[in-house]
């Protein structure tokens, strides 16, 4: 206790220096006076009296020194002195200070901002209980790695499995609600009753679904998302138990989910209702509409779970060969389903930011080296005056720490803004699929990471010059203008650092180049139709008014007719599923007149209206497309895509052939009347699947997408199109109004690639700049060291050209080493990111050559300036300067 009190007082003593010194001077003064008085009364002369008094005291300054050491903490005080000295030095050299701290800030800001994203997406646990035990469980087919479950299959899996504590299902769907703004389509999900219990999430308000509440006869209930509760019901507690009408059906609100709950697979679902499986799809084993979520039993591995569900799928396949042929099973950690898409991209970006940080740190380290070089004399003098090596090293450590601390604070502030800006750049649609990014920020993990980065930089910055100190020869340092081995030692270390910098820059540049090329290749992929000047939107009509086929057909015709009338509209078409959305919504087909052994010929099934191909400007290869009059009263027809023709009719003319379902039941038989060039149904980087396009009028739907081809400026026509459709019936809901161009640009594959490309390109540009500046520094320093040598050479008759060559040779050796090592590292790095590349091999020769060229040219430019200075050395000045 007493010790602590003394330390605190001594710490306080660090600050009240002047008053204390003055008081002690007074005390000593009075001490000496009393002693002198005594000495004089003892008979000494005044001079003698004073001499003896001071001697007895042991010297005034010594006494003051000893007193000061006790009044403060000597170590801290000398550190403070070193710190003051450092700050004075830095103030005198603002260019160095700003450059060094800015580089640290840049490196730290980039890596911390990216790390925050990595943390939010990959490190922070999902908001479920024990999320690592949750699995995404579905069927699989030879073509679809994760295919939805059918309801009867789900019931069997749930009953027969031995590896799950519980297994639940969900699917995404929109609900029509009546709001003050009219009918609105709201995102929602349907889940089996134990869904939230399996996730381990309890409601914030109200209750969870009871077991059995998801059965057909149970009353309809729903749970609200927190956002929906706030937005639609003003966060009122009384909402629990209130009725609400969704899709013309009454529901009761029974609960509200917690604020931090999110479930990315259903994006921003507001209403969570129970499954209540009625007829239709839920009764058929072949109708796959559900995704499974299961909690693994303790001590059961994922492999064991996979084996178990595979066994069940096999049994079901044997039992129901018609519907379950080739329907396997798959399990995936739920976290991978949620963050799987962004994981490789984020890791790539983290790698890029890390390299940028590395290059920035190396640059600062070499700046510090240059500085320690120019301070050789100062250091030698301080050594000679008795400063210990430890003391000098401490000086370097303090200098390094000052740079790191100032740079890190600036970096942290910038990273906060960088995060905000990066998050703001994510389109809302994308953000809906990445709810885990919502609480992105400088949390404790991110701060720990920043601290680790700063620590790494601090060690690097204090070790580099301290290491340099060990090569310092005292006598040589003192000698005026000595240009001895120390300079060479530095040049050796410095040039190694530059090679490392250039290598890093090369890796980043190649990475950016490959990503850019992949992105370009992706955009070059033909969608199979003209994407410009297309409006798309989703239309839903109430089943009570449009549930009959004839009503739906009439509605479709009316929509086309009304929209077509608008000025600027060239043509209008309807489709159940828009192109460039996904491969899926498939049918199993079978060919009339061919042997059939029960295999599932899975094809995309797309009911579309008669002007669909005309509106998309898809190319009809053979035959004809259907007409508007081909409805239920006419024979069934179908248009196939080229992939289907190639796969199932090699060397045959498909036109006139007939296809049907697996049983070839009479109502399923359709005649092939045309072949269109492939329209990409899935994302741009997905495979082409066989597809059949059927007349919408023969397969009527009361909800469909509208595709409008405009003359130009499609964006401005969206409101008019919406109004025209609303004009038909105010109960119609319209959602997802957008343009095809935007759909292309905001598609996950395109968006993720584009943002990764831009970010990595940004990192690479900065890395190139830093690398080239580093090279410039080394060459410029080398020239300044060799001024005398060059002077002598010129005096002895060397041509300017020779001097240029001398310097450029040195520079190009470094650049070449950097480029060659860089190419090797880049190919290795690119192989690691092969998953993200598209249509571009990791060793893509053009990219490598271009990048090498860019780096080489920049390196030449950077070394040209010092070379010119060298060539223009005046031999007389150079020799005299020494």
**Binding piece for another protein, criterion CB under 8 A, among 20-28, 154-162, 530-538, 848-856:** 20-28
Binding-site member from 14, 15, 37, 389 for another protein (CB under 8 A): 37
- Closest to 787 (Cα-Cα) out of 871, 670, 843, 712: 871
Residue 41 CB, nearest approach to another protein (Å): 9
**Binding piece for another protein, criterion CB under 8 A, among 33-41, 403-411, 432-440, 578-586:** 33-41
| End-to-end Cα distance, the chain | 62
Distance (Å, whole) CA 592 – CA 344 = 46
681: DSSP letter: -
Residue 882 CB, nearest approach to another protein (Å): 48
Classify 727 as helix, strand or coil: helix
Q: What number of CA atoms fall less than 13 Å from residue 298's CA on the CB side?
A: 1
Residue 17 CB, nearest approach to another protein (Å): 14
Binding-site member from 17, 22, 56, 834 for another protein (CB under 8 A): 56
- The residue behind tokens 């209403």 is 271
Choice between 51 and 622, CB closer to another protein: 51
Choice between 31 and 570, CB closer to another protein: 31
Binding-site member from 16, 25, 66, 813 for another protein (CB under 8 A): 66
Q: Are 535 and 714 in contact (CB under 8 A)?
A: yes
**Binding piece for another protein, criterion CB under 8 A, among 64-72, 75-83, 97-105, 788-796:** 64-72
Choice between 71 and 815, CB closer to another protein: 71
682: DSSP letter: S
Residue 64 CB, nearest approach to another protein (Å): 9
Residue 18 CB, nearest approach to another protein (Å): 17
Q: Is residue 881 at the binding interface for another protein, with CB under 8 A as the rule?
A: no
Classify 748 as helix, strand or coil: helix
Binding-site member from 2, 91, 159, 594 for another protein (CB under 8 A): 2
Residue 22 CB, nearest approach to another protein (Å): 13
Binding-site member from 16, 17, 25, 62 for another protein (CB under 8 A): 62
**Binding piece for another protein, criterion CB under 8 A, among 52-60, 262-270, 656-664, 793-801:** 52-60
Q: Are 486 and 473 in contact (CB under 8 A)?
A: yes
Choice between 59 and 635, CB closer to another protein: 59
The dihedral through the CA atoms of 477, 481, 486, 492 has a sign that is positive
Choice between 27 and 882, CB closer to another protein: 27
Residue 566's φ and ψ, nearest 5 degrees, are -65, 140
Q: How many CB atoms lie within 10 A of CB 814?
A: 23
Q: How many CB atoms lie within 10 A of CB 420?
A: 13
Q: How many CB atoms lie within 10 A of CB 62?
A: 10
Show contacts with another protein in window 249-308 (CB under 8 A): none
Distance (Å, whole) CA 327 – CA 316 = 9
Q: Which long-range contacts (CB under 8 A, 24 or more apart) does 17-20 make?
A: 17/72, 20/71
Show contacts with another protein in window 69-88 (CB under 8 A): 69-71
Choice between 26 and 723, CB closer to another protein: 26
Binding-site member from 31, 285, 558, 788 for another protein (CB under 8 A): 31
Distance (Å, whole) CA 192 – CA 211 = 9
Helices (H), 676-834: 714-728, 740-746, 748-785, 787-795, 800-832
Choice between 59 and 727, CB closer to another protein: 59
Choice between 38 and 874, CB closer to another protein: 38
Element (H, E) at 66: helix 60-71
Distances (CA, A) of 250 to 115, 175, 243, 703, 850: 46, 12, 7, 21, 65
**Binding piece for another protein, criterion CB under 8 A, among 51-59, 593-601, 680-688, 699-707:** 51-59
Choice between 25 and 813, CB closer to another protein: 25
Binding-site member from 22, 26, 145, 849 for another protein (CB under 8 A): 26
Distance (Å, whole) CA 210 – CA 238 = 20
Q: Are 670 and 650 in contact (CB under 8 A)?
A: no
Question: How wide is the angle at C-alpha 854 spanned by C-alphas 851 and 858, nearest 5°?
Answer: 140
Distance (Å, whole) CA 606 – CA 148 = 18
**Binding piece for another protein, criterion CB under 8 A, among 66-74, 172-180, 206-214, 686-694:** 66-74
Binding-site member from 44, 52, 57, 393 for another protein (CB under 8 A): 57
Choice between 39 and 161, CB closer to another protein: 39
Distances (CA, A) of 390 to 86, 351, 470, 742: 16, 36, 11, 63
- The residue behind tokens 């920020």 is 441
Binding-site member from 22, 33, 125, 413 for another protein (CB under 8 A): 33
**Binding piece for another protein, criterion CB under 8 A, among 30-38, 119-127, 413-421, 524-532:** 30-38
Q: How many CB atoms lie within 10 A of CB 504?
A: 26
Choice between 33 and 130, CB closer to another protein: 33
**Binding piece for another protein, criterion CB under 8 A, among 60-68, 245-253, 532-540, 807-815:** 60-68
Choice between 52 and 850, CB closer to another protein: 52
Choice between 68 and 521, CB closer to another protein: 68
What pairing do the DSSP bridges indicate for beta strands 691-695 and 637-641?
antiparallel
Binding site for another protein (CB under 8 A): 2-3, 5-6, 9-10, 23-24, 26-28, 30-31, 33-35, 37-38, 56-59, 62-63, 66-67, 69-71
């Amino acid at each position: 206790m007493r010790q602590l009190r003394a330390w605190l007082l001594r710490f306080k003593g660090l600050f009240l220096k002047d008053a204390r010194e003055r008081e002690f001077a007074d005390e000593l003064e009075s001490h000496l006076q009393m002693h002198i008085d005594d000495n004089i009364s003892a008979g000494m002369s005044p001079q003698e009296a004073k001499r003896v008094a001071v001697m007895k005291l042991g010297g005034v300054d010594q006494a003051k020194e000893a007193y000061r050491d006790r009044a403060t903490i000597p170590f801290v005080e000398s550190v403070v002195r070193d710190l003051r000295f450092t700050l004075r030095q830095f103030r005198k050299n603002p260019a160095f200070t700003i450059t060094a701290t800015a580089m640290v800030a840049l490196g730290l800001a980039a890596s911390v901002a990216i790390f925050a994203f990595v943390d939010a997406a990959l490190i922070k646990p999902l908001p479920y209980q024990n999320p690592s035990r949750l699995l995404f469980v579905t069927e699989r087919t030879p073509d679809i790695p994760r295919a939805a479950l059918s309801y009867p299959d789900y019931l069997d899996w749930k009953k027969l499995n031995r590896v799950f504590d519980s297994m639940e299902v969900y699917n995404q769907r929109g609900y029509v609600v009546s709001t003050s703004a009219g009918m609105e389509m709201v995102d929602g999900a349907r889940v089996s009753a134990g869904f939230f219990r399996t996730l381990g999430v309890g409601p914030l308000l109200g209750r969870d679904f009871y077991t059995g509440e998801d059965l057909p006869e149970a009353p309809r209930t729903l749970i609200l998302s927190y956002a929906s509760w706030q937005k639609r019901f003003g966060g009122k507690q009384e909402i629990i138990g209130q009725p609400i009408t969704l899709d013309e059906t009454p529901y009761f609100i029974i609960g509200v989910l917690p604020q931090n709950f999110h479930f990315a697979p259903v994006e921003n679902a507001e209403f969570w209702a129970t499954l209540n499986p009625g007829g239709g799809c839920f009764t058929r084993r072949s109708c796959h509409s559900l995704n499974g979520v299961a909690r693994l039993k303790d001590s059961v591995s994922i492999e064991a779970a996979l084996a178990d569900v595979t066994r069940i799928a096999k049994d079901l396949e044997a039992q129901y060969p018609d519907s379950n042929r080739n329907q396997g099973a798959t399990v995936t950690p739920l976290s991978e389903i949620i963050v799987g898409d962004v994981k490789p991209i984020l890791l790539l970006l983290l790698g890029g930011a890390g390299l940028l940080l590395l290059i920035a740190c190396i640059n600062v380290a070499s700046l510090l080296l240059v500085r320690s070089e120019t301070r050789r004399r100062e250091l030698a003098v301080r050594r000679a005056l008795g400063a210990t090596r430890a003391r000098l090293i401490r000086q370097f450590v303090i200098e390094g720490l000052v740079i790191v601390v100032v740079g890190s604070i600036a970096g942290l502030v910038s990273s906060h803004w960088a995060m905000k800006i990066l998050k703001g750049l994510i389109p809302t649609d994308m953000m809906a699929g990445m709810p885990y990014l919502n609480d992105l920020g400088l949390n404790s993990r991110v701060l720990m990471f920043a601290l680790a980065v700063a620590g790494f930089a601090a060690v690097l910055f204090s070790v580099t010059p301290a290491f340099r100190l060990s090569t310092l020869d005292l006598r040589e340092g003192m000698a005026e203008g000595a240009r001895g081995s120390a300079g060479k030692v530095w040049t050796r270390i410095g040039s190694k650092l530059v090679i490392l910098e250039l290598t890093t820059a090369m890796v980043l540049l190649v990475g950016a180049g490959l990503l850019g090329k992949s992105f370009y290749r992706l955009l070059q992929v033909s969608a199979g139709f003209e994407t410009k000047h297309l409006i798309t939107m989703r239309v839903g009509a109430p089943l009570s008014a449009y549930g009959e086929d004839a009503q739906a057909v009439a509605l479709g015709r009316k929509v086309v007719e009304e929209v077509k009338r608008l000025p600027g509209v060239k043509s209008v078409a309807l489709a159940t599923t828009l192109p460039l959305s996904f491969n899926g919504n498939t049918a199993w087909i079978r060919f009339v007149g061919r042997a059939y052994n029960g295999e599932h010929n899975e094809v995309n099934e797309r009911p579309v209206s008669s002007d669909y191909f005309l509106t998309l400007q898809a190319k009809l290869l053979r035959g004809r497309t259907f007409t508007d009059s081909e409805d239920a009263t006419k024979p069934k027809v179908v248009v196939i895509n080229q992939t289907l023709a190639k796969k199932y009719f090699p060397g045959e003319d498909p036109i006139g052939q007939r296809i049907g379902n697996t049983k070839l039941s009479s109502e399923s038989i359709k005649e092939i009347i045309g072949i269109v060039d492939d329209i990409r149904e899935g994302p741009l980087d997905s495979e082409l699947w066989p597809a059949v396009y059927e007349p919408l009028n023969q397969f009527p739907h009361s909800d469909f997408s509208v595709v409008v081809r405009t003359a130009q400026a499609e964006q401005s026509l969206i409101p008019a199109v919406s109004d025209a459709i609303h004009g038909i019936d105010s109960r119609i809901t319209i959602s997802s109004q957008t343009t095809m161009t935007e759909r292309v640009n905001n598609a996950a594959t395109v968006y993720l690639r584009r943002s990764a490309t831009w970010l990595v390109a940004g990192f690479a540009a900065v890395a190139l700049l830093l690398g080239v500046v580093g090279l410039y520094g080394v060459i410029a320093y080398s020239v300044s060291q060799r001024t005398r040598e060059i002077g002598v050479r010129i005096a002895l008759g060397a041509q300017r050209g020779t001097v240029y060559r001398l310097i450029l040779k040195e520079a190009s050796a470094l650049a070449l080493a950097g480029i060659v090592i860089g190419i090797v590292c880049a190919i290795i790095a690119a192989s690691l990111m092969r998953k993200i590349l598209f249509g571009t091999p990791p060793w893509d020769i053009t990219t490598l050559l271009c990048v090498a060229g860019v780096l080489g040219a920049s390196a030449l430019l950077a070394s040209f300036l010092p070379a010119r200075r060298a060539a223009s050395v005046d031999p007389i000045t150079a020799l005299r300067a020494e």
